[in-house]
Amino acid sequence: MNALKTQDYFVFLIYFLIVAGYGYMVYRKKKKATVSASHDYFLAEGSLTWWAIGASLIASNISAEQFIGMSGNGFKMGLAISTYEWMAAATLMIVAIFFIPVYLKNKIYTMPQFLNQRYNSTVAMIMAVFWLLLYVIVNLTSILYLGALAISSISGLNLYVCMYGLAIFAIIITLGGMKVIGYTDVIQVFFLILGGLVTTYIALTMVADHYHTSGVINGFKMMMEKSDDHFHMIFKNGDENYPSLPGLTVLVGGMWIVNLNYWGCNQYITQRALGADLKTARSGILFAAFLKLLMPVIVVLPGIAAYVLYQEGYFHTEMMVNGELVQDKAYPVLLNLLPSGLKGLAFAALTAAIVASLAGKANSISTIFTLDIYKKKLNVNASEQQLVKTGKIAVWTAMLIACLLSPFMGIDKKGGFEFIQEYTGFVSPGIFAMFILGFFWKKTTSNAALFATIGGFALSIFFKFIPSIVNLSFLEPLGFATLVKQPGGNSLYEIPFLDRMGFVFIICVIVMYIISMFENRRGVKTNGLEVDSTMFKMNNGFAVGALIIGGVLVALYSFFW
């Protein structure tokens, strides 16, 4: 039944009161301890512990696109979608070792600030505007819509009531500043993981019960036996899922660009660590990497369980919309089977994931608009109090725009998780090329960065639409093109979007090198960052943790290859 009972509302109320009460306590303590300074509001400078940073990273990252979208992909393609989570764990180690020291050494607090410091104000302003548009139009809208859709399916409440309720809850947390977000995220992660594990437990138990056995272990074994095709990490060309996860690209190609850009060049994520010292930031990122290894258990296994049960005749009515199977309904359908009370806990977990992600995204939008646009172009002499006030107005404005736009974005026409990944991928290669050369090659020029920004986007569009102009069948033997059925019934050879990202990145790096070398010979000066090898040294505890994560990943990919 798509409705919450009294016990569910009671559990959810407890969750709400704990988060709101703790957030208010942190806010009051912060208010007594410091003036409403902009760095304190936007970055919680020096006040987040390693466990708060790690929890906040995960709470901000895990949202409706994972619980709903990735679970839906688990239903469709199986465990392979976990590559986004497991490769993220490896990526976080690279970010902690190489990226964070550069940011902290050069006192970089926002991504546009980095671009201004490394290149020039033109590059920084173009990217600040771009990031605002991307965060509001793609990310906020997707999180709001998918989250509201899931909560509406579970509770029976109106979609728009759910959407505006989520937005208001997130705003309440966001207005307290980064410190409130960081510490309330610890509670959000607790509910997220606990509620997620409960859902997984129930789903695996249902599978076991259906096949006349018992226990989650037996349920998992039956899932592997009855859906063996859903427990392989690497797809071969010709598989229907190959366009989404093209073979070894998930290990040596575009998947690295997705993750390195997201975790290392993204205001929304790096902001959690930029207010801490290096040891604390690295420890927090290491904690987040360990949590990342756990995420597929919470968001992917329930989708596979739903698939197994669907094959046995369950959920056929619930997962259909206008006569078509909708994969993103897999997780909400499972939640509706939970007993009263536990359903409230799972509902709280889903809400926690959505609200934490919305709050983190809104805070990043507020930070970029206030520090990189308002202070630099609109009110250069703004006081600290004016900056904080402007940041709060930006939060309200961004959330309202996202609420108004989200129903019209076509998010429900495609799997929600892939929707976000593909459309963000139009700009990720150019941005990552601009950042990585800006970090480690002092000769990179501003014009080269401009090419990566604009040219990278143009190249992504070119590779997206070239199949309608040129027959790409000659690329199939190389694994760089696959036959994809189009909505009208025809089929075209397309370049999988992860491969497109790899091609665009390589072209951007080559052209940036050529432009930079040409301008260097003409005497163009560059603004290299302060970088030396001692910055990248690790303490023993972090090094051991990184090796453990690496070993776990090798074991997982070896077993589920």
Q: What is the pLDDT of residue 37?
A: 53
Q: What is the pLDDT of residue 359?
A: 79
The answer to whether residues 348 and 195 touch, using CB atoms and an 8 Å cutoff, is: yes
Q: Average of pLDDT values for 221-249?
A: 88
Q: Which helix (H) or strand (E) holds 492?
A: strand 491-494
| 96: pLDDT strictly greater than 60 | yes
Q: What is the pLDDT of residue 413?
A: 56
Tokens encoding 1: 């039944």
Q: Average of pLDDT values for 183-209?
A: 80
Residues 334-377 have pLDDT tens digits of: 877 777 877 787 777 777 778 777 877 888 888 888 888 888 88
Q: What is the pLDDT of residue 10?
A: 86
| 179: pLDDT strictly greater than 80 | no
Q: What is the pLDDT of residue 35?
A: 42
Amino acid at 370: T
Q: Which helix (H) or strand (E) holds 399?
A: helix 384-405
| 507: pLDDT strictly greater than 90 | yes
State how far the Cα of 428 lies from the Cα of 50, in Å rounded to an integer. Answer: 28
| 52: pLDDT strictly greater than 90 | no
State how far the Cα of 138 lies from the Cα of 135, in Å rounded to an integer. Answer: 6
Q: What is the pLDDT of residue 285?
A: 92
DSSP letters, 506-533, are HHHHHHHHHHHHHHHHTT---------G
Query: Which of 45-59, 369-383, 514-528 ranks highest by mean pLDDT?
Result: 514-528
Q: What is the DSSP letter of 291?
A: H
Tokens encoding 260: 């390195």
Q: What is the pLDDT of residue 36?
A: 46
Q: pLDDT class for 325, splitting at 50, 70, 90?
A: confident
Q: Average of pLDDT values for 272-290?
A: 85
Amino acid at 318: E
Q: Average of pLDDT values for 463-467?
A: 84
Residues 129-164 have pLDDT tens digits of: 888 888 888 888 888 887 887 788 777 788 888 888
State how far the Cα of 483 lies from the Cα of 492, in Å rounded to an integer. Answer: 5
Q: What is the pLDDT of residue 548?
A: 95
| 279: pLDDT strictly greater than 60 | yes
Tokens encoding 237: 């060309």
Q: Which residues of 263-290 are buried (b: 16+ CB within 10 A; e: fewer)?
A: bbbbbbbbbbbbbbebebbbbbbbbbbb
Residues 368-410 have pLDDT tens digits of: 888 888 888 888 787 878 887 888 888 889 989 988 888 776 6
Q: Within a 13 Å sphere around the CA of 520, how many CA atoms are in the beta-carbon half?
A: 15
Q: What is the pLDDT of residue 34?
A: 47
| 263: pLDDT strictly greater than 80 | yes
Q: What is the pLDDT of residue 27?
A: 65
Q: Which residues contact 218 (CB under 8 A, 6 or more apart)?
A: 208, 211
Going 136 to 137 to 142 to 144, the CA torsion angle's sign is positive
Q: Average of pLDDT values for 296-305?
A: 91
Percent of the chain with pLDDT over 70: 87
Please count the other Cβ atoms lying within 10 Å of the Cβ belonging to residue 99: 22
Q: Average of pLDDT values for 91-101?
A: 91
Q: What are phi and psi of 346, to 5 degrees?
A: -65, -35
Query: Which of 30-39, 72-81, 123-132, 468-477 ranks highest by mean pLDDT?
Result: 72-81
Identify the CA nearest to 557 among candidates 251, 165, 109.
251
Q: Compute, in degrees rounded to 10, the torsion defined by CA atoms 501, 329, 10, 192.
A: -30
| 9: pLDDT strictly greater than 80 | yes
The answer to whether residues 362 and 140 touch, using CB atoms and an 8 Å cutoff, is: yes
State how far the Cα of 104 lies from the Cα of 409, in Å rounded to an integer. Answer: 37
Higher pLDDT, 365 or 32: 365
Please name each of the domains of the chain with its CATH number.
6-424+531-559 (1.20.1730.10), 425-528 (no CATH)
Mean pLDDT of the chain: 82
Q: What is the pLDDT of residue 556?
A: 94
Q: pLDDT class for 224, splitting at 50, 70, 90?
A: very high
State how far the Cα of 69 lies from the Cα of 303, in Å rounded to an integer. Answer: 10
| 192: pLDDT strictly greater than 80 | no
- Residue 547, CA distances (Å) to 54, 288, 295, 296 in order: 18, 15, 19, 20
Reduced to 3 states (helix: H, G, I; strand: E, B; else coil), residue 136 is: helix
Q: Where are the alpha helices (DSSP H) in 98-215?
A: 100-105, 111-118, 121-133, 141-155, 159-174, 178-210
